[in-house]
Amino acid sequence: MRLTKFSDYALRVLLYAASCDGRRLVTIEDTATLYGISRAHLKKVVRLLIREGYLEGMRGRTGGFRLALPPERINIGRVLRSTEPDFEMVECFSAENACRLSRPCRLPRLINEGLAAMIAVFDAHTLADILVEPRHFVGEPLLPLPRRGPSLPPSGGDG
Amino acid sequence: MRLTKFSDYALRVLLYAASCDGRRLVTIEDTATLYGISRAHLKKVVRLLIREGYLEGMRGRTGGFRLALPPERINIGRVLRSTEPDFEMVECFSAENACRLSRPCRLPRLINEGLAAMIAVFDAHTLADILVEPRHFVGEPLLPLPRRGPSLPPSGGDG
């Protein structure tokens, strides 16, 4: 189970824009270099974030973008609702559902309960809660950690 | 954000096997017809569920499979840990992480918190909690509902 790259990039674009807030505009170019990701993909991400009112775009040679709202008004759950194409965790959540058990089945309720628990965590946080200090965005790149997670509890037990 | 089809099918195979428990063996053929899904894909799912000790396979012309454990000992969280290839919600959870912010960033902690909240819901339930009555697996297929969910709260608010 993964978030889309689109969501991952969107959150990182917002983090970077927040780190520059009030000092300078951010460009696609800078962001692509900073994170080592494709400009084409980032363009789509930035376009959506502008359309959704999270970023403000400035055209022209010296253009770029910046946060359109203070970080404490950018709710992470709401951002992910815009950037994830869907939350169709199982087939019966989708329009192509062909499962004959759909009506009596109790699986969708359980899956929805899990999904709601996750989204509640994201809904309880804003960009302000996860800001990275501006100094970490400049200078020599830090070596990335090979991986950070995920950190699931070791097992679900026997029952 | 979705579970893989593999996980979705695994849970449905377990539900069907549970509905037949003690009365007859289930076959790939029956399961494929019941759910309208590919036999090749189902074979891989059943093989994994046997390897993980959830199903017991019987070879031969009259062979098939059945639950190897009572439904109340089949924990949904544990099943999903076996069937999902990973829970690499964001790039920095993966071995291919190239993000220079990995060390100071607080996003992974938030994402892990959301993931843990979802998994805790699944860890708190077993197959016994979502059993579908055997009568729903036989006879004329019910028309599937066009879609069941997901049911997210309407929005994450402003902050």
What pLDDT band is residue A102 in, cutting at 50, 70 and 90? Answer: low
Per-residue pLDDT of chain B (159 residues; tens, 9 = 90+): 999 999 999 999 999 999 987 678 999 999 998 888 999 999 999 999 999 999 999 988 888 999 999 999 999 999 999 999 999 999 888 888 878 776 788 999 999 999 999 999 999 999 999 998 888 887 555 555 556 677 787 776 554
Residue A126: strand pairing partners: A75
> What tokens does B154 get?
């309407």
| A78: its two tokens | 């709401």
The structure tokens listed for A76 are: 């992470």
Cβ–Cβ contact A141 with B under 8 A: yes
Torsion sign across C-alpha atoms B1, B2, B4, B10: positive
**A54 and A21 Cβ atoms separated by less than 8 Å:** no
A10-52: per-residue pLDDT in tens?
999 999 999 987 678 999 999 998 888 999 999 999 999 999 9
Give every CB contact of residue B51 below 8 A, 6+ residues apart in sequence.
Answer: none
CB contact under 8 A, A118 and B122: no
Residue A49: CA count within 13 A, CB half-sphere: 33
Quick check: A67 and A54 in contact, CB under 8 A?
A: yes
CATH architecture of the region B5-137: Orthogonal Bundle (1.10)
Within an 8 Å CB–CB cutoff, is residue B28 touching chain A? Answer: no
Which residues on chain B are in Cβ contact (under 8 Å) with A139?
Answer: none
Residue A54's pLDDT band (boundaries 50, 70, 90)?
Answer: very high
What are the backbone angles phi and psi of residue A32, rounded to the nearest 5°?
-65, -40
Contact flag B104-A156 (C-beta cutoff 8 Å)? no
Domain boundaries, chain B: 5-137
* Distant-in-sequence, close-in-space partners of B133: CB < 8 Å, separation ≥ 6: A104, B19
Tell me the shortest Cα–Cα distance from B60 to chain A, in angstroms.
28
Give the total residue count for chain A.
159
Report d(CA A62, CA B125) in Å as an integer. 55
Cβ(A107)–Cβ(B11) below 8 Å: yes
Q: What are the two backbone dihedrals, phi and then psi, of residue A121, each rounded to the nearest 5 degrees? A: -65, -45
pLDDT digits (tens, 9 = 90+) for B51-76: 999 999 998 888 899 999 999 999 99
Using an 8 Å CB-CB cutoff, list chain B residues near A114.
118-119, 121-122
- DSSP for B3-20? --HHHHHHHHHHHHHHHT
From B61's Cα to the closest Cα of chain A, the distance in A is 27
Between CA B30 and CA B34 the distance in angstroms is 6
For A125, residues 6+ apart whose C-beta sits below 8 A from its C-beta are A75, A76, A77, B110
**Residue of A104, A130, A136 lying closest to B107 (CB–CB):** A130
CA distance A15 to chain B (A): 9
Could you tell me the pTM of the whole model?
0.88
Q: Do B148 and A8 touch (CB under 8 A)?
A: no
Mean pLDDT of chain A: 88
* Element counts in chain A: helices (H) and strands (E): 5, 2
Quote the pLDDT of residue A140: 54
Q: How far apart are CA A20 and CA A43, in angstroms?
A: 18
Residues of A in contact with B20 (CB under 8 A): none
Selecting from B11, B34, B87 the residue whose C-beta is nearest the C-beta of A1 gives B87
